[in-house]
A and B are shown apart, each in its own frame.
Chain A
Amino acid sequence: MVEKNTPALEFWQRLNRNRLSTVGLLMLGLIFVLCLITPWLPLPDPDATDLANRLKTPLTSNHLLGTDELGRDLLSRLLWGTRVSLVVGFVATLAAALVGSLIGLVSGYFQGWIDSGLMRGVDTLMAFPYMLLALAIVAAFGPGLLNALFAIAIVNVPFFARTVRGATISLVQREFVLAARLGGASHFGVLWRELLPNILPVIVVTISTTAGWMILETAGLSFLGLGAQPPTADLGSMLGEGRKLLFTAPHVSTLPGLVILILVISLNLLGDGVRDVLDPRLRGGALRSPQPRTEVLSAELGSAQVRSTEKLVIRNLTTELFQQGQAKPLVRNVDFELRPGECLGLVGESGCGKSVTALSLAALAASPPLRIASGTVELDGEDILRLPLRLLQDIRGKRVSYIFQDPLTTLNPVLTIGEQLIQVIRRHQSLSSRASYTEALHLLSRVRIPSPETRMKAYPHQLSGGMRQRVCIAIALANRPEVLIADEPTTALDVTIQAEILSLLNDLRKTTLKDSQTGKKTGLSVLFITHDLGVVSTICEKVAVMYAGQIVEFGETKSILESPQHPYTQALLACTPRLGAKHKVLGGIPGTPPPPGSYPSGCGFLDRCKVASVKCQDPVHLMQLSSNRQVRCVLKQGANA
């Protein structure tokens, strides 16, 4: 329970972040206010002709913007005309939104023959050229503003119907809709109370992006003489009247043209802003695409030069979330090392910073909003965080590679397995296409994919979850990496498949890799990230337990599982269900972990800890218990001292 802002306030704050949309809003507001107060402004009657004063240029006395062919005051006609255009445009938009959304909701919700019937009708509407359809409707009902309004509304119904139908279909199978149906909700109840509130943003976005277009169309029809009838002024008809005088009195047509331009531009700017705020796909900063590497703040030089036996050494790594001038640490001063051929488990619950740690190792954490505030990641003694981008990219995928949780989103859906493998191989190795094909086949058989030749031609969706994860592993191994970072690689899989993947990873790690070029033998170091202590004990030699962005316990798997020292590790072990064991899990750990980014300065586990004391509010250091054992707890400090 974090946020306190009301949705409305949040909406305005987000909208204001887009400068251009604020400008649009201001311009539109100005036009609206002018139109609203028009009847009370000291203006001449817009329809009063005065042939003696025809075609006066702008800035003549009594006529600020001049007069038209019949001597009517242009400023007055412009303001009244804008009023008419705005009203017609918006009423048409609302009407189209209402009817279109209703069609979309109903056909998306009921589907089946209702959907087919309604959508084929909509398709038929869309099959006619736009203006032609509007013309036909006006021709059938006769010219006039009201008929033009109907025509434009009807023409635009398909846009709303299709957009809303799409949004509805994506929601209908969501659990909250099913829950409402199980709760005895009527069809109307589901549509009105459950679906509509969720689809409203989509409707508003569509309104805001089509309103400008609708005003243009109204103007178009009036321009052709099918909308507003003389003497009523609207922007389109004024444009049409001025067209004949384009060379003798250009101001008569350019002025309404200019107003249309300003109106539509400001509507579109505002519409873009509204879309950015309301469209869920654009939330979370997706508009600002992240840089190719994580921003690294300090230019500190690592201890380097001392060539240790370790493959990967992480020192003092701190990654923070930087938003609106505030830096919130997600990973705090993390230290660990990985030996050649070793498997280290990084264990923790969601939000403890384990994935951000993993991504930071190859500067892959999305930046903005993330950035690395301090620390070094040394691969064979070289700090890779501060390498030039080109060199860093040569390391990624070659010396350090990744496997992620969801193989379906990791693989490219439109490329075959073979194409993706070959792509990765050829990025780092200069092999002929034939050789890389053979290499890809070899990789697929290494990850125990049956009949690799046929699988090479398969697309990701044609494979099962377990097969897809094998392909991801093959891709990760394609360039004989030295370090493999596996982020929850088996969490999305069934138990039996998980067991297969784990035993595969274990075998791959232990078979030493012989580099074809140098003949050097290297073991694969694995950083295995998981929330499951059971999985850890099947594959990892060492474990680092993370909580609230810090490592709270570190040691060999066996000793951690047999004698956990940190209260969090103890509690976590106690609530891990074990099959066949007589022990029953007792209620888990009360409370919830501190949310990412608002970690306390003292012990992060303080609020949930049974043995916490006042001392725990001060920062706690990682204590060395024995050569291979570390724990971050005040109690152990006391015991040791």
Chain B
Amino acid sequence: MPEPLLQFDRVTKEFDLYKNWFGKTSKRFRAVNEVTWQVEPGAALGIVGESGCGKSTMARMAVGLELPTSGEIRFAGKTLDKWLKEEALLLRQSVQMVFQDPSASLNPRQRIREILELQLQRLTDFRAEQRMQRMKEVLEQVQLPLVALDRYPHEFSGGQAQRISIARALISKPRLLLLDEPVSALDVSVQAQILLLLEEMRKELGVTYVFISHDLAVVEQLCPSVLVMYAGSIVESGPTNQLFQQRNHPYTDLLIRSVPVPGKSLELKSEEMANLENSQGCAFRNRCSKANQQCSQAPILKEVSGSMGGHECACHYPLSEAA
């Protein structure tokens, strides 16, 4: 097995909600709760969950925009702390991110030329003609015409703007790309274009993807393996096909049943409301029909019985065992 490119080792992130008069924290919110995962070079890992489940916080930690409260994040075997102290520039070159809202992620006052060139000036020591060469290359990769360089972001549609964002992220030839809901602001027809583009780029350039989304169908298309998050913890993980076909966690099951599919009517009863205030135990137990006493103790991720390998679930009563 190759050395993982990105590793989260028992990473926790807490935010201060209230501070008292003396600056001491009186209430904290745990956005990410002791998560451990990794992604191998060239792979594509999907992270799925509802809004507020901590997936975006995880992305921000992975690129060093936020620092974990505890635990370690390693990129290519070296902790992010070390990278940021010793070779911040190299880290920026190798880890890039694409954001959800394509129009908010491009500076409205800069032409595309300026946006791309600034990125190159900051990250490389290319001379002017090398920069131009690279800009041409990357625009071709995201299938935009050269005239795009002299336009402002507002002159592009959402899909085109997202292509520009991808071009900016790829221009320094990164090894790891974090995609935080890159297609959820786009129309279906454009969404499919971008997904195809992303898939081609991965094959062609060998970039590793961490793809964050609330849309299971989109993740299924792009990522061979997936993590399901709920309230800051990983509740199930494994190869995408296997996980979706034999889901083990009741939350994964709820997620999958909730997805509207053309030509299928809804077979869902109203569920209990999410309650994230739970301090202990399984966070999903308030919405779960199977919950009992034991669920007030936090379940740990363990291998699903009978899996081909790599399929893990954090539940005292996994669905496969009930059957």
Give me the interface of A with B, judged by CB distance under 8 Å.
1-3, 174-176, 178-185, 189, 193-194, 197-198, 349-350, 448, 450, 464-467, 494-500, 502-504, 506, 531-539, 558, 561-562, 571-573, 575-580, 584-590, 592
Shortest Cβ distance from B51 into A: residue: A494
Chain A residues, Cβ within 8 Å of B61:
none
Within 8 Å by CB of A500, from B97, B221, B263, B268, lies: B268
Residues of A within 8 A of B119 (CB): 183
Spot the interface stretch: B24-32, B74-82, B253-261: B253-261
In the assembled complex, B39 has its CB within 8 A of some CB on chain A: no
User: Which residues of the other chain, A, contact B50 by a CB distance below 8 angstroms?
Assistant: 494-497
Do A580 and B260 touch across chains, with their CB atoms under 8 A apart?
no
Measured CB to CB, the closest approach of chain A to B257, in angstroms, equals 7
CB of B12, distance to nearest CB on chain A (Å): 22
Task: Count chain B residues whose beta carbon lies closer than 8 angstroms to a beta carbon of A.
Answer: 74
A558 cross-chain contacts in B, Cβ below 8 A: 263
Residues in A neighbouring B217, C-beta threshold 8 A? 577-579
Q: Which 10 A-B pairs have the closest CB atoms?
A: A588-B192, A534-B260, A175-B105, A577-B217, A575-B192, A499-B258, A197-B109, A589-B189, A588-B193, A349-B187
B156 at the binding interface (Cβ < 8 Å): yes
Of the candidates B110, B158, B261, which one forms a contact with A537 in the assembled complex, judged by CB atoms under 8 Å apart? B261
Distance of A243 Cα from B191 Cα, bound (Å) = 73
Given A534-B261, A536-B262, A538-B265, is A176 in contact with B106 using a C-beta cutoff of 8 Å? Answer: yes
Question: Counting CB contacts under 8 A, is B225 at the interface?
Answer: no
- Give the residue name and chain of the B residue nearest to A185 (CB): B122
Report chain B residues within 8 Å CB of A184: 88-89, 92-93, 122-123
In addition to A176-B107, A464-B273, A577-B218, 7 A-B residue pairs with Cβ atoms within 8 Å of each other are: A182-B96, A537-B262, A537-B263, A579-B261, A587-B193, A588-B189, A588-B196
Measured CA separation A504–B101 after assembly (Å)? 30
Q: Provide the bound-state CA to CA distance between A180 and B65, in Å.
A: 11
**Is the pair B263, A590 in contact by a Cβ cutoff of 8 Å?**
no
Cβ-defined contact, B220 with A531, below 8 A: no
Q: Can you report 17 A-B residue pairs in the complex whose CB atoms are below 8 A from each other?
A: A175-B99, A178-B105, A179-B105, A184-B92, A185-B118, A495-B255, A537-B260, A537-B263, A539-B266, A561-B263, A562-B263, A571-B189, A578-B262, A585-B192, A585-B196, A588-B195, A590-B193
Q: Is B238 an interface residue (CB 8 A)?
A: no
Within the assembled complex, what's the spacing in Å between the Cα atoms of A4 and B264? 46
Is the Cβ of B274 less than 8 Å from the Cβ of A464?
yes
* Contact A579/B262 with A189-B122, A349-B187 known, Cβ cut-off 8 Å: no
A502 touches B88 (CB 8 A): no
Q: Nearest chain-B residue to A193 (Cβ)?
A: B118
CB distance from A189 to the nearest CB of B (A): 7
Contact of A496 among B96, B107, B172, B258 (CB under 8 A): B258
Q: Which B residues are in CB contact (< 8 Å) with A174? A: 104-105
On whether A503 and B268 interact (CB within 8 A), knowing A578-B262, A587-B193, A592-B157, the answer reads yes
Measured CB to CB, the nearest residue on chain A to B105 is A175
A572-B189, A577-B218, A577-B221 known; A503-B123 Cβ under 8 A: no
Given known contacts A531-B188, A534-B260, A562-B263, is B196 in contact with A579 (CB within 8 Å)? no
Q: Which residues of B contact A3 (CB under 8 A)?
A: 154-155
Shortest distance from the beta carbon of A498 to any chain B beta carbon, whole Å: 7
**Contact flag A496-B255 (CB < 8 Å), given A198-B108, A537-B265:** yes
Q: Does B10 reach chain A (CB closer than 8 Å)?
A: no
The CB with the most chain A CB atoms within 10 A, among B221, B245, B256, is that of B221
Q: Which of B197-223 contact A (CB under 8 A)?
A: 214-218, 220-221
In contact, A577 and B215 (Cβ under 8 angstroms): yes
Given contacts A538-B266, A579-B220, A588-B192, contact A182 B255 (CB under 8 A): no
Q: Which residues of B contact A502 (CB under 8 A)?
A: 260, 266
Q: Is the CB of B110 within 8 A of A197?
A: yes
Partner of A194, one of B107, B157, B264: B107
Task: Across the interface, name the chain B residue whose C-beta is closest to A179.
Answer: B105
Q: Once the chains bind, are B271 and A496 in contact (CB under 8 Å)?
A: yes
* Residues of A close to B265: CB separation below 8 A: 537-538
* Complex Cα spacing A535 to B217, Å: 14
Q: Are A496 and B254 in contact (CB under 8 A)?
A: yes
A182-B96, A197-B110 known; A538-B123 Cβ under 8 A: no
Give CA–CA (A164, B119) in the complex, Å.
26
A2 to B88, CA, bound (A): 40
User: Does B159 lie at the interface of the complex (its beta carbon under 8 Å from any beta carbon of A)?
Assistant: yes
| Nearest CB on B from A492, distance (A) | 9
Residue of B nearest to A466 (CB): B273
**Would you give the shortest CB distance from A290 to chain B, in whole angstroms?**
24
Would you give the shortest CB distance from A431 to chain B, in whole angstroms?
Answer: 29
| B315 at interface by CB-CB < 8 Å | no
Shortest Cβ gap from A369 to chain B (Å): 19
Which residue of B is nearest A467, CB measured?
B273
Residue on A nearest B244 in the bound complex, by CB: A580
Task: List B contacts of A561 (CB < 8 A).
Answer: 262-263
For the complex, give the distance between the alpha carbons of A350 and B186 in Å: 9
A contact residues around B266 at 8 Å (CB): 499, 502-503, 506, 538-539
Could you say which of B99, B155, B270 contacts A178, with CB atoms under 8 Å apart? B99
For residue B127, which residues in chain A have a CB less than 8 angstroms away from its CB?
A: none
CB pair A504–B270 under 8 Å, yes or no, is yes
| Given A495-B259, A503-B266, A577-B215: A572 in contact with B155 (beta carbons within 8 A) | no
